[in-house]
Structure 1
Amino acid sequence: MPREETQTKTQAPPRTTEPRSVSEPPTTRAWTLRLVAVGLVLAALNLRPAITSLGALLEEVRDGLGMSGTVAGVLTSVPPLCFAIFGVMTPKLTRRFGPAAVVCAGMAAIATGLAVRPFAGSTPAFLAASALALMGIAVSNILMPVIVKRWFPDRVATMTGLYSMALSLGTSFAAAATVPLTSALGGKWQTGLGLWALVAALAVLPWLFVVRERRTTASAAPAAPAAEKAEARTGQEDQAAAAAEQREAAPALPIARSRTAWALAVYFGLQATGAYITMGWMPQIFRDAGVPASTAGVLLAVTMAMGVPLAFVIPRVAGRLRNQGPIAAVLGTCGLIGYAGLFLAPAAGAWVWALVLGVSNCSFPLALTMVGMRAGTGAGVAKLSAFAQSTGYLLSIPGPLLIGVLYQHSGGWGLPIALMAGLMVPQIAVGILAGRNRTVEAELAARGAAAAKTA
């Protein structure tokens, strides 16, 4: 048995997928899994182009809408704010409609928002359409680990790596291709932004079929209470599925009482802070050091492109380890090295620092992998993912703004880079705590038992 499968089963019940109807043929289930895998990749490709395509054309958008510099600055902080606000709603929507239906609606919201905002005609309408797209991104962000845990319980690390790689690919491709595509299609920024709506619309299609398949299967199953269904199932696999179904319907976990959940949330927030600072300010650091503007843009693309291969490798390595803390320490150390290089010799070692910081930014797929491994049930993953990402993105909002304030008032990059490096220290610490081999369900149960004994 592969070590990855063994690790997953030691931390979680054998099954966290939705129970299969006894009348459902194996071929249908295999087809559904393939469809979910395709939908997962297409969804991940659409989780960042709404942000990075706008960054590439921000100057043109400002001129076209008469947007002030202050509003444009606030616009860069809107994504994490929307991720935090709308992410809180995700668990309730998931319980009501199911994860596949919510992801399908999320992709539709992204497609609609991206199609509408280039032609909004005013700054408020542009912001509203952007918020619609970001709402779809927020709920889909939360549910990626849930989808993996539910449909691929014995391949959590592999599938997490697959969609993390797709997410990184979509991020870097949108940043690099938006301007050339805009020029090729006539030079209008509206066209350059609007074309990404087509990619999002494509991602809706597999999820429509998945939702239809699940509803067809559910309607074909005999109506019976959960206890009668469990008694009717035969074989160890179906008994495990019945138990998983009952756990999914259990009361919500008091996730905010879990130390592991808080460690994950803070780790998520600190890595997101570093990522947004890098995307927003690293080119300016290089330009101020004498690097040509075109080269500075390429350096940022290199940093972002590092996530494409590593986003697939890191989750697979993490899934084979009982403790992911050492990986968090290595990635954080890379960040310290990169920021030290930017402080001491930003121009002389520019390519090295870009590569090293690209490795450090791969804390994101590691965080997603740990979310899937720190909960034992699909409901637990949904709750933990929503808490960690919503809280984390909320914590990340001040970072890029604070860097800008320090840069403006100090007149250089010494203090901002020192702050970036300083944030790596707590990131390493909470990454080690979050990587410990435990689940939030077991942790909360142990705390409850301890409290009962003392009472």
Structure 2
Amino acid sequence: MEKRLLVWGLLVVAANLRASLTGVGPLLDRVQADLGLAPAVAGLLNTLPLLAFVVLSPMVPRLAARWGAERLLGSALVVLTLGIALRWVPAAAGLFGGTVLIGAGIAVGNVLLPSLIKRDFPAKVGLLTSAYATVMGGVAAVASGVAVPISEVAPGGWYTALGCWVVFALVAVLLWAPQVRAPRLGAQPLRAHRLPWGSGLAWAVTAFMGLQSLGFYVVVTWLPQVFQDSGLSAAAAGWLLFVFQAVAVVTSLAVPAALRWARDQRALAAICSTVMLGGYLGLFVAPGWALLWSVVLGLGGGACLVLALAFMSMRAQDAAEAGALSAMAQSIGYLLAAVGPVAFGLLRTVGSGWRVPILLMCVAAAIQTVVALVAGRGTVRVPTATPSSSNGGKTGPVEIQDAPVSPPPAR
């Protein structure tokens, strides 16, 4: 019963890690018009959370070691709730200030969920990673699909469409409260580890995380606008973004089975990255086939997200090392991803069209395909930053174990 409650808590936390971000894209044109924002400035609405990920992610393992992972995650959910509520204030300051708080709350959840799964469910990493990615993506898909309809019927328009997710965040706070009051009996506290800056494998995992995140945030920020400029209505473009995310959710459900049978994840990660490349090339050549490219991008994107999250646990020896690798991958990875929405908007403004920005995404997907061949195999050895390390508290160089590591069975 105790573990079942923990699983439900983790899944409800996951449900809040994307919805407050993906609802922005379909409303971006209205936000720009009402607040008089340039495209690059509007792109900051999905870039500011990424910058928060960059700044806060490296701090999370040490904070979790000091305060406890459960308490830290509970505090992050409260910050996330406050950020969503602040977005409801009808002013640009509320919108951008709330977005920063949302980014801070999500940053903690992003880092802690892989390490908590590794700690509490080491034999079911693939299954639970897929489950939380599916819930996260499913709620995010709904958020993008209903954003425009809510803004058209609800008092407050798009402010309400962005702020109404505070209800979901409050539910997460309440469901996680038992874990804060009484952490699971026998659960080991997370130790602090230095981030594995000297590991080539860790950098490959980081690059894979960053490139797939860059693609995701560019798509959820600008894909509706690309479709609208091709002649679709705002509502239709929002539902196509929903299709992208719904297909990604379905695809993510198939990943555990693939992880179970694969000796390593190199081929799977490379194939899924190639599918993403195909979707971007399709947008470049025939942007009018909006539904087809939404489906193709969803097929590749859903699998790549689950793989990126799973790599943080599968490439680590234990929960503490998973936390350190997760912090590195998400700080540097999201720094790369943060460039995406702003650069995409700038290139569109400078070039007066979408072809150059979409070509940039083709290049990013091609690089991701190459990186996947490295990130899909091996184990990163992370030096401990505490006196309990095997060398008496001194930190030695990072070692990489090159032997292939099969993923845990996804039962």
Letter of the structure 1 residue corresponding to residue 298 of structure 2:
G
Q: Distance in 1 between matches of 2:322 and 2:400?
A: 19
Of 368, 379, 404 in structure 1, the residue corresponding to residue 320 of structure 2 is 379
Do the aligned residues in 2 keep the contact of 1:286 with 1:296 (CA within 8 Å)? yes
Name stretches of at least 5 consecutive residues in structure 1 with no aligned partner. Answer: 1-30, 219-240, 449-455
User: In the alignment, what sits opposite 1:158?
Assistant: 127
Q: What letter matches 2:114 in structure 1?
A: P
Residue identity opposite 1:133 in structure 2: I
Equivalent residue pairs, number: 387
| Aligned twin of 1:231 | none
1:446: Cα distance to partner? 4.2
Which residue does the alignment assign to 1:131? 100
Residue number in structure 1 paired with 2:387: none
Alignment partners' CA distance in 2, 1:167 and 1:118: 22
Deviations 1:97-153 (A, max 9, x none): 22211111111111121123312x543343222211221111001111011111111
1:339 aligns with 2:280: yes
Measured in 1, the distance between the counterparts of 2:149 and 2:230 equals: 27
For residues 178 and 414 of structure 1, the distance between their equivalents in structure 2, rounded to whole angstroms, comes to 27
Mapping of residues 31-430 of structure 1, within 5 Å: 31-61=1-31, 66=35, 68-69=37-38, 71-119=41-89, 122-186=91-155, 188-214=157-183, 217=185, 249=191, 252-347=193-288, 349-362=289-302, 363-430=304-371
Flag the structure with higher helix content. 1
Q: Is 1:433 aligned to 2:374, yes or no?
A: yes
Task: Work out the CA distance in 2 between the residues paired with 1:344 and 1:125.
Answer: 39
Per-residue CA deviations over 1:201-245 (Å, capped at 9, x if unaligned) read 100122210122228x58xxxxxxxxxxxxxxxxxxxxxx9xx87
Contact kept? 1:373, 1:439, Cα under 8 Å? no
Q: Report if aligned partners of 2:44, 2:341 keep a CA contact under 8 Å in 1.
A: no
Post-superposition CA distance 1:179-209 (Å, at most 9, x none): 3334444354443333211110100122210
Per mean C-alpha deviation after superposition, the further-off stretch among 174-183 and 355-364 is 174-183
What is the CA-CA distance between 1:447 and the residue it aligns to? 6.3
Q: Which structure 2 residue ranges, 5 or more long, are not aligned? A: 384-395, 402-411
Q: Deviation string for 1:48-79 (max 9, x for gaps)?
A: 12212333444555566x45335433333212
Q: Secondary structure at the match of 2:23?
A: helix
Instruction: Give the C-alpha shift of residue 275 in structure 1.
Output: 1.1
Whole-angstrom CA distance in 2 between matches of 1:437 and 1:447: 7
CA contact (8 A) 1:287 1:293 kept: yes
- Deviations for 1:400-443, whole angstroms, at most 9, x for unmatched residues? 22223333333333322222111112101111101013333499
Map of 2:391 onto structure 1: none
Q: Is the 8 A contact 2:43 2:221 kept in 1?
A: no
* CA drift at 1:399: 2.2
Tell me the TM-score normalised to structure 2 length.
0.86
Contact 1:32 1:210 in 2 (8 A): no
Say which one has the larger Rg: 1
CA separation of 1:309 and 1:403: change in aligned 2, threshold 3 A: same
Q: Secondary structure at the match of 2:155?
A: coil
Contact preservation (8 Å) 1:160, 1:312: no
How far apart, CA to CA, are the structure 2 residues paired with 1:309 and 1:377?
A: 29
